[in-house]
């Protein structure tokens, strides 16, 4: 079965041009003018619309066991919702419990993901350290297509990685040609501030941002960046939410360090007033870490994207329903941290970014798809419109609009942080591996159709970094 997308304007990270796109056997088979339709082809009329690489969300947590519960969205419902929103691939996280062998956790997550309807890959978290972790990181890179390792600098007494873990793991990542990534918040400070805020009698969700101020994030981002600098390894900072961590990234990049930053659709458009809402369900529904910030931080994030110091956008899609959030009714530190967004990221960023002139359509493609593919080494299989690339595409209707609501979304959660927001610019069709899976409001997905995407290590980049270290290597003083 083939699909011919006819009459659209192709928009990639680099180019904009009129062309038809033919998809065959899951790949892009031809791009050009007036392509003749094969006899079996389904025709998608893209007149007046843009044809773009499908979105890649580099940060999701489907069915994550976390804070005493399990995220309500699984790999089937979550990737379905992604396709409805124009996202054709996710990179989720394997998160071993402390002392859990990495390979055991990895196989567990691979099993859970078998029901995915779109393609997926995994970062693997390093939550503890010993020789077996060192060994398993090598096995994952060599034999299982993993090229990124995540470190949570927060969540003390749970999955937090201290400096010893960071240094060992970054060093190992460097040897393997893999990218360390960090959730940057100083976990000890968060822990102490939570106690302080509670002792002041603040037990509601308004305590959440008070216990995680921007400086706590900035400190951790800067520390991770300096550790990466000493270890001579690149670094990817997830969910950058504030000026302090963006400044640390910008400074490092201007000093020649290879540091990348991701920001979330939610952090770009939602501010911290949500935590002071009278309704617990509403305020707790927004509890995620790092928290939503004030407007000045949102403005800084947009400038980070525009200036190229932030390269990717994600959602940190991690769903907890109202009954799960209720665990923290009398103590905000017990509210499961996480919010949804996989279905809405593309439309929210188009509406708030392209419609306002902050981003061009090409920049939109870069920050929602291509840059992630490049950074995590799956370009041009993903993130590109090229002959031979995977046929993961979105046909984008810039005139279409939708009012976001938990009543109508496909995400398996009873709350939507973008509730009531009307977005202009929506996917009319999503094509996943050459199949039309979303067409004018109808999802047609196949359980298990998603494939695991292997990601190769970064040989060339890492060799260059290693050479730069050799070049600067200190010399022992010869005596006697
Ligand atoms: O609040 C969040 N972000 N929950 C998911 C885990 C994480 O920190 O990414
Ligand atoms: Zn995080
Ligand atoms: Zn996360």
Residue range 56-86, pLDDT digits in tens: 999 999 999 999 999 999 999 999 999 999 9
Give tens-digit pLDDT for 204-234.
Answer: 999 999 999 999 999 999 999 999 999 999 9
Q: Which ligand is nearest to the CA of 71?
A: 1
pLDDT at 463: 78
Give the phi and the psi of residue 439 in degrees, each rounded to 5.
-140, 115
**Would the CB of 338 count as within 6 Å of ligand 1?**
yes
pLDDT at 27: 98
Nearest to 97 by CA among 65, 52, 56: 65
- Which ligand sits closest to the CA of 291? 1
Residue 17 has pLDDT above 80, yes or no: yes
Q: Whose CA is nearest to atom 5 of ligand 1?
A: 338
- Give the pLDDT score at 462: 73
pLDDT of residue 466: 75
Only one residue has tokens 């109808």, namely 442
Delimit the domains of the chain by residue range.
54-375
> Which residue carries 């996280």 as its tokens?
93
User: Is pLDDT above 80 for 368?
Assistant: yes
Interval 337-361 mean pLDDT: 98
Q: Which atom of ligand 1 approaches the CA of 337 most closely? A: 1
- DSSP annotation of 193 reads H
Percent of the chain at pLDDT exceeding 90: 95
- For 273-313, what is each residue's pLDDT tens digit? 999 999 999 999 999 999 999 999 999 999 999 999 999 99
Helices 243-254, 214-231: axis angle to 10 degrees equals 20
Tens of pLDDT, residues 174-184:
999 999 999 99
| Nearest CA, atom 8, ligand 1 | 289
Predicted confidence at residue 470, as pLDDT, reads 76
**Strand ranges (DSSP E) for 404-462?**
422-432, 435-439, 442-443
- Determine the distance from the C-alpha atom of residue 227 to the mean position of all C-alpha atoms in its chain, rounded to a whole number: 23
pLDDT (average), residues 228-257: 98
Q: Which of 120, 118, 61, 71 is nearest to 95 (CA)?
A: 61
Ligand 3 center from residue 60 Cα (angstroms): 6
Q: How far away, in angstroms, is 478 Cα from ligand 1 center?
A: 51
Poorest-pLDDT segment among 89-98, 190-199, 417-426, 454-463: 454-463
Atom of ligand 1 at shortest range from CA of 155: 8
Residue 99 CA, ligand 2 centroid: distance in Å: 20
pLDDT score, position 69: 98
Closest ligand 1 atom to residue 61 Cα is 5
- Name the closest ligand to CA 64: 1
Tell whether the model's pLDDT for residue 151 goes beyond 80.
Answer: yes
User: What tokens appear for 33 in the block?
Assistant: 């003018």
Q: What is the pLDDT of residue 303?
A: 98
173 pLDDT band, cuts 50/70/90, is: very high
Label residues 75-103 b or e (16+ Cβ within 10 Å = b). bbbbbbbbbbbbbbbbbbbbbbeeeeebb
**What single DSSP character describes residue 394?**
E
- Measuring from atom 1 of ligand 1, which residue has the nearest CA? 288
Residue 146 pLDDT exceeds 80: yes
Q: Which CATH architecture has domain 54-375?
A: Alpha-Beta Barrel (3.20)
Q: What is the mean pLDDT of residues 346-350?
A: 99
Is 298 in contact with 280 (CB distance < 8 Å)?
Answer: no
Calculate how far, in angstroms, residue 150's C-alpha sits from the geometric centre of ligand 2.
9
Mean pLDDT along residues 446-461: 92
Quick one: average pLDDT of 387-414?
Answer: 98
Report the helix count and the strand count for the chain, using DSSP H and E: 16, 19
Question: Cα of 266 to ligand 2 centre, how many Å?
Answer: 13
Whose CA is closest to atom 3 on ligand 1? Answer: 289
φ/ψ (deg, to 5) at 125: -85, 140
Report whether residue 61 contacts ligand 1, using a CB cutoff of 6 Å: yes
Q: CA of 79: how far to CAs of 120, 144, 333, 410, 447, in Å?
A: 9, 21, 29, 10, 10
Whether the CB of 288 sits within 6 Å of ligand 1: yes
Q: Is 208 in the pocket of ligand 1 (CB under 6 A)?
A: no
Mean pLDDT of the chain: 97
Q: Considering the chain, what percentage of its residues have pLDDT values greater than 70?
A: 100
Residue whose CA lies nearest to ligand 1 atom number 9? 316
Look at residue 460 in the predicted model and tell me its pLDDT: 64
For residue 154, the ligand 1 atom closest to its alpha carbon is 8
Whether residue 289 has its Cβ less than 6 Å from ligand 1:
yes
**437 falls in which pLDDT band (50, 70, 90)?**
very high
**CA 13 to ligand 2 center in whole angstroms:** 27
């Amino acid at each position: 079965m083939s699909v011919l997308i006819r009459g659209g304007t192709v928009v990639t990270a680099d180019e904009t041009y009129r062309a038809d796109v033919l998809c065959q056997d899951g790949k892009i088979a031809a791009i050009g003018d007036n392509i003749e339709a094969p006899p079996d082809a389904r025709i998608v009329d893209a007149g007046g619309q843009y044809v773009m690489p499908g979105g890649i969300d580099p940060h999701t947590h489907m069915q994550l066991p976390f804070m005493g519960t399990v995220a309500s969205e699984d790999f089937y419902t979550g990737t379905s919702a992604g396709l409805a929103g124009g996202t054709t691939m996710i990179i989720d996280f394997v998160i071993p419990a402390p002392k859990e062998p990495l390979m055991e956790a990895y196989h567990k997550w691979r099993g859970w993901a078998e029901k995915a309807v779109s393609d997926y890959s995994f970062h693997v978290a390093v939550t503890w350290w010993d020789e077996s972790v060192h060994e398993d990181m090598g096995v994952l890179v060599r034999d299982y297509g993993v090229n990124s390792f995540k470190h949570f600098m927060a969540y003390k007494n749970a999955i937090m990685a201290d400096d010893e873990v960071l240094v060992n793991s970054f060093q190992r990542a460097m040897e393997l040609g893999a990218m360390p990534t960090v959730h940057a918040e100083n976990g000890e400070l968060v822990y102490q501030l939570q106690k302080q805020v509670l002792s002041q009698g603040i037990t509601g969700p308004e305590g959440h941002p008070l216990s995680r101020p921007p400086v706590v994030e900035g400190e951790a981002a800067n520390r991770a960046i300096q550790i990466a600098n000493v270890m001579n390894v690149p670094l990817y900072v997830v969910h950058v939410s504030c000026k302090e961590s963006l400044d640390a990234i910008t400074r490092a990049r201007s000093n020649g360090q290879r540091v990348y930053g991701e920001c979330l659709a939610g952090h770009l458009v939602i501010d911290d007033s949500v935590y002071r809402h009278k309704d617990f369900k509403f305020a707790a529904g927004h509890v995620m870490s790092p928290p939503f910030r004030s407007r000045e931080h949102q403005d800084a994030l947009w400038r980070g994207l525009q200036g190229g110091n932030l390269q990717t956008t994600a959602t940190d899609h991690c769903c907890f329903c109202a009954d799960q959030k209720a665990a923290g009714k009398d103590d905000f530190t017990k509210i499961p941290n996480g919010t949804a967004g996989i279905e809405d990221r593309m439309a929210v960023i188009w509406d708030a970014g392209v419609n306002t002139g902050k981003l061009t359509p090409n920049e939109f493609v870069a920050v929602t798809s291509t840059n992630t593919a490049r950074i995590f080494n799956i370009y041009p299989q993903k993130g590109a419109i090229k002959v031979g690339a995977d046929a993961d595409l979105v046909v984008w209707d810039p005139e279409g609009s939708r009012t976001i609501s938990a009543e109508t979304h496909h995400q398996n959660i009873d709350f939507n942080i973008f509730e009531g927001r009307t977005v202009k610019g929506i996917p009319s069709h999503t094509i996943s591996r050459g199949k039309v899976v979303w067409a004018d409001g109808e999802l047609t997905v196949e359980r298990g159709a998603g494939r695991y995407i292997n990601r190769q290590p970064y040989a060339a980049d890492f060799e260059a970094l290693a050479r730069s270290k050799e070049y600067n290597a200190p010399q022992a003083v010869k005596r006697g």
